[in-house]
Structure 1
Amino acid sequence: MKSLGSIRRDFAPWNDPNAKPYIQFDKVTKKFGDFTAVNNLSLTIFEREFFALLGASGCGKSTLLRMLAGFEEPTAGRILLDGQDLRGIPPYRRPVNMMFQSYALFPHMTVENNIAFGLKQDGMPKPEIAARVGEMLKLVKLEQFAKRKPHQLSGGQRQRVALARSVAKRPKVLLLDEPLGALDKKLREETQFELMDLQQSLGLTFVVVTHDQEEAMTMADRIAIIDKGEVMQVATPAEVYEAPGSRFVAGFVGNVNMFEGKIAHGEAGAASIDAGNGITIRTENTGDAATGAAVAFAIRPEKIKISSTRPAGAVNAIEGEVYDIAYLGDMTVYHVRLDDGQVVRASTMNAARITEDPLSWNDRAWVSFRPDAGVVLTR
């Protein structure tokens, strides 16, 4: 069976009509005075899912997380966890824990005492606390740092202490608000995989808020794209990227080229799009777009080939001029200005050290792509 991108084939409860959602946002609205942060939003999350809320600053994603944690109450609607309505239940009585971007570690306490703090507050017996703390230290690979204080640790180590403290109480759901924002790029990439492995080993439900697309795409089983307090699309990372549901999602996640036009002729899922200025695009992914409909044809830069001559047999090929080049090591990004003024972005992997068909600034070039390389968007 063909699929869009890599998937966990043994875990996809959202495709099972009999699966019961673990977390439900049911027509939730949250207002702060005249400002609506969340607008009549409905969303379901399943047990053991690593779920990401992705959106720009101010879109309402952190407000959703705070309402689930109990720090805010919905103005309207319900939030259910394992079938229980959470309205009126204070944060400390909810089976969730929240890890903040600042980590909020106690500076005067050692690593092991930071991890043990919540367990002591709950009155857990000392032998059980010691065993649990030892288990958490081993889980986050910080056994040798147990006696250190936060200021004696690196940013990545402090992040792991905060994580260990968050899961020590065995919450049903762990909420992570921009958890990797304070880390440098390389450490952030390493920690993403550590979080994924930790979530798998613990079997907990993780809900992460982030504005970092790469972070969400790497870690999450599914992503909810949020804009102005509303859900724009919920899907797996590969589906969000390869089959965006709207112009907004296509433009928000990753880089994309967009050709506006009308369906000139369509049949059996294939169509010709009149994109104006003599450009006609043949596509095999028209969805339910009818002949004459105004649409956008969206195609990712890596799906476009660039060459100095028109490729033989190419169905879709458009000529232009190279006006910008960015060499990024693993890939080269070309900006090609078409004769009608539109700029097309094409990216090429640098699989070999030497380029057979080198292109430079101001060269005439052809961009080409397959009929199944892009998608037609009606919204």
Structure 2
Amino acid sequence: MRRSFAPWADPTERPLIRFENVTKRFGDAVAVDRLSLDIFEREFFCLLGPSGCGKTTLMRMLAGFEQPSEGSITLADRDLAGVPPYRRPVNMMFQSYALFPHMNVERNIGFGLRQDGLPRAEIAARVDEMLRLVQLERLAKRYPSQLSGGQCQRVALARALAKRPKLLLLDEPLGALDKKLREETQFELMDLQHALGMTFVVVTHDQEEAMTMADRIAVMDHGRIVQVATPGEIYEQPKTRFIAEFVGDVNILEGRVRGQQDGLWQVESSSAHGPLTVDDADEVLQNGQAIAIAVRPEKMVIHRGEPPPDALNVLRGEVWDIGYLGDWTVYRIKLPSGAIVRVTRANRSRFVDNPIDWDEQVHVTFAPDAAVILAE
């Protein structure tokens, strides 16, 4: 179902949220720079980028805590200019969770409903529904100080969902959780969003978190959006060197174009033994043009001896470091040029006889279609 969900690919679909040429300045500093973006109903959308890239400022403008210096923001075709936060059909879940310490779980969840003046019976029914949804029925009478970090996160989520907003904004929602709980909660959020049919917009600097949860990701840098695409497209077809290096691990090989042969680009590189052969038909290049070639570590193959005679894209080097991660082993190979490439290999068996060791001379290869050309 998630795989078939792609309203952004339908030109007749109206976006739920539209940013049009939005700029936000704080004095002389430009936090968001002429940004345009569409987000669709029922989408799990992620704003991803390093600290200071403008992603939280963009979310705060959508929530109404900041106003654009220029441009417009619309929600369900309604211009949000001048609409205060409490008048917007939006709820925001903060990184700190911001739970009231003097209220127990059920009163925290029902706080916004009481502020809206809903009848007691409706508040009680809605709170019970939220408690079941986040599986905290047994903890309804506990206070935040008596809860774990993961439980506090669930309370904050239930409180945000209780008012049934059209849109839920999550600012680094899993940052306070440990690694294992964070991974479990990612899937819980996905299941919850799908079950409720709501639109989620999450801000994070964690690439793995964004790749796991989002239908689409907007990668931001210096107040601008560099690329908007699905997680698979972001990872496999990064548009710029910044995206290739920011999202996941990557090896960057520098070189110059020598031309084409049989429809494949030939690239001269000091890192390789012979020309590199790259299958990236989308690129239009000129002979002599300086380029960078991005290859993910899992798409490189390490050879203890000589590679097969028909192998393309052969690199030679010395094993500089080895990192055992349980399911994967990471090899850092130092090339004669001084560059270091990372190669990952799945540990498919429990024991390996005579494993590759430090200081060994090895060869590394990759297929022509494993590389992406990034024009300099």
Q: Please indicate, yes or no, whether the TM-score normalized by the shorter chain is above 0.5.
A: yes
How far does the alpha carbon of each residue in 1:13-64 deviate from its partner, in whole angstroms, 9 at most, with x for none?
Answer: 1111111111111000000000000000111110000000001111100000
1:288 aligns to 2:270 (yes or no): no
Matched residue pairs, number? 373
1:199 aligns to 2:204 (yes or no): no
CA RMSD of aligned residues (A): 1.3
1:3 equivalent in structure 2: none
Pick aligned residue for 1:131 from 114, 125, 128: 125
CA distance in 2, matches of 1:344, 1:279: 17
1:28 aligns to 2:22 (yes or no): yes
2:293 equivalent in structure 1: 297
How far does the alpha carbon of each residue in 1:322-377 deviate from its partner, in whole angstroms, 9 at most, with x for none?
Answer: 11111111111001111111111100010112225621111100001111111111
CA distance in 2, matches of 1:252, 1:273: 24
- Show the 5 A alignment for 1:253-268: 253-266=247-260
Which ranges of structure 1 fall in alignment gaps of 5 or more residues? 1-6
Give the TM-score of the pair, scaled to structure 2: 0.97
Deviates more, 1:224-233 or 1:272-281: 272-281
How far does the alpha carbon of each residue in 1:135-172 deviate from its partner, in whole angstroms, 9 at most, with x for none?
Answer: 00000000111111111111100100000000100000
1:311 aligns to 2:340 (yes or no): no
- Show the 5 A alignment for 1:235-274: 235-266=229-260, 270-274=264-268
1:275 aligns to 2:269 (yes or no): yes
Counterpart of 1:324 in 2: which secondary structure? strand
Pick aligned residue for 1:335 from 327, 332, 337: 332
Deviates more, 1:366-375 or 1:273-282: 273-282
CA distance in 2, matches of 1:320, 1:199: 47
Give the TM-score of the pair, scaled to structure 1: 0.96
Pick aligned residue for 1:361 from 353, 358, 363: 358
1:377 aligns to 2:374 (yes or no): yes
1:216 equivalent in structure 2: 210
CA distance in 2, matches of 1:242, 1:104: 38
Q: Which amino acid aligns with 1:296?
A: A
Distance change (3 Å), C-alpha of 1:372 and 1:357: farther
> What's the offset of the Cα at 1:91?
0.1
Alignment check: 8 A CA contact 2:93 2:168 kept? yes
CA distance in 1, matches of 2:304, 2:284: 34
Q: Which amino acid aligns with 1:176?
A: L
The sequence identity of aligned pairs, in percent, is 61
Q: Which amino acid aligns with 1:298?
A: A
Counterpart of 1:200 in 2: which secondary structure? helix
CA distance in 1, matches of 2:274, 2:46: 38
CA distance in 2, matches of 1:323, 1:9: 40
Counterpart of 2:370 in 1: which secondary structure? coil
Q: Which amino acid aligns with 2:320?
A: Y
Which ranges of structure 2 fall in alignment gaps of 5 or more residues? none
CA distance in 2, matches of 1:78, 1:326: 49
CA distance in 1, matches of 2:206, 2:249: 14
> What's the offset of the Cα at 1:269?
5.0
CA distance in 2, matches of 1:78, 1:246: 28
> What's the offset of the Cα at 1:308?
1.1
1:49 aligns to 2:43 (yes or no): yes
Alignment check: 8 A CA contact 2:257 2:267 kept? yes
CA distance in 2, matches of 1:332, 1:10: 34
> What's the offset of the Cα at 1:289?
2.5
CA distance in 2, matches of 1:274, 1:283: 11
Pick aligned residue for 1:17 from 3, 11, 22: 11
Distance change (3 Å), C-alpha of 1:285 and 1:356: farther
1:174 equivalent in structure 2: 168
> What's the offset of the Cα at 1:267?
5.8
> What's the offset of the Cα at 1:260?
1.4
